[in-house]
Chains A and B, each alone.
Chain A
């Protein structure tokens, strides 16, 4: 018997039944890992469109967030999973976005602690300016693995946000190159890179820095872009609503939501 089909069917069935279950109001994933791309063709998009509900997660869940938005226009949420750190910083964004339906501005902390200047969580502007568009994105590896499929939303004139964990810098370079060759980088209106946690230089002689790689790919686009936003495999993080219109300012590193994400 085809065991792998069973596991994919089972994971998809849990998503589908949460959307069809009238007793369930929202869906939050327990963790990421790998596996969401394997179930995209088993998701019941019609039922989801009929019963829109909040779905939240990040990392591998990027796949579901993007596919549900592409297929149903549902606003989905790049935010904490069950096993995330639900500290005050991250929970506050969840509350304002999901419970209170606020539209607000997200900006990195400016706390300098007892240092003479801020050293932690600074932003690095790649190209200044402001842009508008729908927020779309998630984990770089997961998003890149969807290129060529029918499950990515339209990035044209929208804002791409990315984060990554545990990938050598040359791999980040490779994946950004793929997004460029796929035409995605050339059509977005703005670019946000969150944190690249444990993105090392690899074992060979010589490496580019992450900043060099981002400069190589993003600076020539001439669009507002920055690195270091509070998005990624970190404890203090924004919750980003996919499919919601926003205005970004790459000089400040701010994301201003132009509409509420929930009804």
Chain B
């Protein structure tokens, strides 16, 4: 399975997916105390991604971008944001 995935990764030219991420236990391999992300500041960039259902309406992305602009945030879209595979995002 992982070989197939690696081959596919090469085919689609995506090198960022870790197929060999060590699986941590439910208790976590990292710190037990809360890991707090940095707060948002005006001018920051939001990455817009779609890890679940496919997007059928390009207007949704425009509305999201305008929403972020109203919060003084920039937007960067995921490479596969608009991909579709049946009801799932993303196939290319």
Contacts and interface: CB of A to CB of B under 8 A. Distances in A.
B46 A27 contact: yes
Interface string B46-59: 11111111110000
Contact of A73 (B30, B44, B70): B30
A30 B61 contact: yes
A16 B26 contact: no
B91 A82 contact: no
A95 B40 CA distance: 9
B52 A35 contact: yes
Contacts of A261: 36
A41 interface: yes
A70 B55 CA distance: 28
Interface in B35-83: 35-41, 44-55, 60-61, 63-64, 67-68, 70-71, 76, 78-81, 83
A95 B71 CA distance: 9
Contacts of A70: 26, 28
Contacts of B24: 45, 71, 150
Contact of B49 (A29, A46, A75): A29
Main SS of chain B's interface residues? Answer: loop
A243 B34 contact: yes
A24 B30 CA distance: 23
Interface of A: 1-7, 9-18, 20-21, 23-36, 38-39, 41-47, 49, 52-55, 59-61, 64, 70-75, 82-83, 86, 91, 94-95, 98-101, 134, 150-154, 243-245, 259-263
Interface of B: 1, 4-5, 8-9, 11-12, 14, 16-19, 21-41, 44-55, 60-61, 63-64, 67-68, 70-71, 76, 78-81, 83, 85, 87-92
26 contacts: A2-B8, A5-B1, A5-B4, A7-B85, A9-B12, A10-B83, A25-B41, A26-B37, A26-B46, A28-B47, A29-B49, A29-B50, A30-B50, A31-B52, A31-B60, A33-B54, A35-B52, A42-B21, A54-B38, A55-B37, A74-B35, A82-B60, A82-B64, A95-B71, A151-B26, A262-B38
Given A6-B12, A243-B35, 13 more contacts: A5-B5, A9-B8, A10-B89, A26-B45, A27-B47, A28-B49, A29-B48, A46-B21, A52-B38, A73-B35, A75-B36, A262-B38, A263-B36
